[in-house]
Amino acid sequence: MFKKILIANRGIIRLACIQASRELGVVSSVFHVAADLRGVGERFADEVCVLETKDPFSAFYDAEAIATLAQDIGADAVHPGFGFLAESHDFMGKLRELGIRLISSASDDAVAQIQNKPLLKSLAQSIGVRAVPGTNAVDNAASLRQVAQELHYPLIVKPVSGVGGVGLSVVLKAEELEAAFVRATSRMQRTGVVEEEVFVEEFLSGARHIEVPVLRDRFGNVAVFPEIEASVQRRFQKFLSVSPAQFISERQRNYIATSARRIIEELEYIGLASVEFLVLGDDVFFLEINSSIQPNHLLMGRLTGINLVREQIRAIAGERVAFSVGELQARGVVVGLVVNAEDPTADFAPSPGRVDEFSMFSVPGVDVLTTCSGGKELSSYYDPMIAYVTGYGLTFDEVHRRMLSALECFYISGVSSNLSLLRAVMGSRRFVEEGFKVSDLRSATELEALMRESRPGMEELAAALAALAIENDTGVKQIISQEGEGYSLWNFAARFFERGRIEI
């Protein structure tokens, strides 16, 4: 086992890595930059370092500086978390030269194959796993237009080695391909990756996004975890996950688990991976693999009792998996929600600034992993995620009720958040009766319709409540007048003051 792990990430995944390190008896070391001073991770880690950098945004992409820091502090492994350098083959190489392991995958060749998504799909097809229809890689817009003629619109243009939904564009006609090519390559460069090649796939409108965490150790033992549906997305970022998936057949569930195992074994992959599929009607298509821990992997602790971050570390350290391998059974149903500091009504613009208040009443069966608190300054340099909420129930109905209750108990003020959208999605009939598809919620019109559907009669009720408060209770009036995300009814009533629809 490793002696010391440098955690090269921030926020909630940093906390999860610190906890996993403690369970294994490993020293955890974290670094910060000026934008992250006095973070929760700094209070709980065993060691705290400073990463000297002029640009806070690029600090977590600075492979050279992080590798040097790991060597200087005597770390024998680096945990990259998710995003940033988590799936960087170059970063893995820099660490290897220094005798340091990257806790992502121990399989260099497998990582290289995973990063080339068109080649990975060809590998899947070679062993009989059907993949999303797409093209090979191209390095210019003219070639992109030519290969796109083989497919049916709408299409989706992707960077060949892209991660985290960066640079993806849906195109409806050929005239949009050139702009999509430019977006795909230029947006990858913002993350410190020089990407000159893209490929194109058919955008399967109406499909469900299903992914499976798979863990394989160096002894060939493979553990396939329950599948996760992550179809509720915005800008290709998953913000609501359910496991096990509620709206696929047993045949599809078994096919996904078997296919995920076969692909991982064919790659001779070592470590934790997320194997992703799209389900459209009766058909299942392989999509891609992520070789890093994912936010929704945190659900598995509740669902199976297994800490996936801990087991990922053990696998990269060369140890056997510490539980019975095979296809693990779900014990109930879990739902995971990503709470972001962003404004759904302003095209999800980030909302940095000072958090005046951040609180949530305890709800049985619901956990909140967060580094946020009242008085915290949210930086404009990083991802807007401020909390990950996990709910558990023996049945889907039970966890659904618990999560609705938990969302009504959340209060955030000082910055905008996506709590109103989470409430709307969780409270909708569609979520309960048929679930969402990856193509849903892509337009402002769809979002507005969902918000209206989730609040029938709310405006009239809020107006009556506000008028009553003004007449009878100054304290309640003050609560209503506060800005921010509180109880949905209070917050809705506050909008009447802002719009001038109630005379004071």
496 by DSSP, 3-state: which?
Answer: helix
Q: What is the longest distance spanned by two Cα atoms in the chain?
A: 72
Nearest CA to 303 among 332, 265, 337, 267? 332
- Bridge partners of residue 28, in order along the sequence: 5
The neighbour count for residue 439, using CB atoms within 10 Å, is: 17
Residue 411 has, within 13 A of its CA and on its CB side, a CA count of 17
Report the distance separating Cα 278 and Cα 92, nearest Å. 29
The sheet with strand 4-7 has its strands ordered as 47-50, 27-32, 4-7, 77-79, 101-102
Q: What is the CATH number of domain 332-454?
A: 3.30.470.20
CATH of domain 4-104: 3.40.50.20
What CATH number belongs to 133-202?
A: 3.30.1490.20
**Burial of 229 from C-beta contacts in 10 A (0-12 / 13-18 / 19+):** buried
Print pLDDT tens along the chain (504 aa).
999 999 999 999 999 999 999 999 999 999 987 656 556 566 789 999 888 777 777 889 899 999 999 999 999 999 999 988 998 888 998 999 999 999 988 777 888 889 899 999 999 999 999 999 999 999 999 999 999 999 999 999 999 877 767 789 999 999 999 999 998 887 655 555 556 799 999 999 899 999 999 999 999 999 999 999 999 998 888 999 999 999 999 999 999 999 999 999 999 999 999 999 999 999 999 999 999 999 999 999 999 999 999 999 999 999 998 887 766 889 999 999 999 999 888 888 899 999 998 988 889 999 999 988 888 888 888 888 999 999 999 999 999 999 999 998 888 999 999 998 999 999 999 999 999 999 888 777 787 788 777 655 555 555 666 665 555 555 554 544 444 444 455 555 554 444 444 433
Q: Is 67 exposed, middle or buried (0-12, 13-18, 19+ CB in 10 A)?
A: buried
CATH of 105-131+205-330, one of 3.90.180.10, 3.30.43.10, 3.20.20.120, 3.30.470.20: 3.30.470.20
Helix residue ranges, H only, 410-487: 419-427, 429-433, 444-454, 458-472, 474-481
Secondary structure of 356-370 as H, E, C letters: CEEEECCCCCEEEEE
Q: Note the pLDDT of residue 25.
A: 97
Give the pLDDT of residue 225: 96
Among the listed residues 150, 29, 95, 84, the one whose alpha carbon sits nearest the alpha carbon of residue 316: 95
- Model pTM score: 0.88
- Segments making up each domain of the chain, as ranges: 4-104, 105-131+205-330, 133-202, 332-454, 457-499
Radius of gyration of the chain (CA): 23
C-alpha–C-alpha distance, residues 121 and 211, integer Å: 15
Q: Are 4-104 and 332-454 the same fold in CATH?
A: no
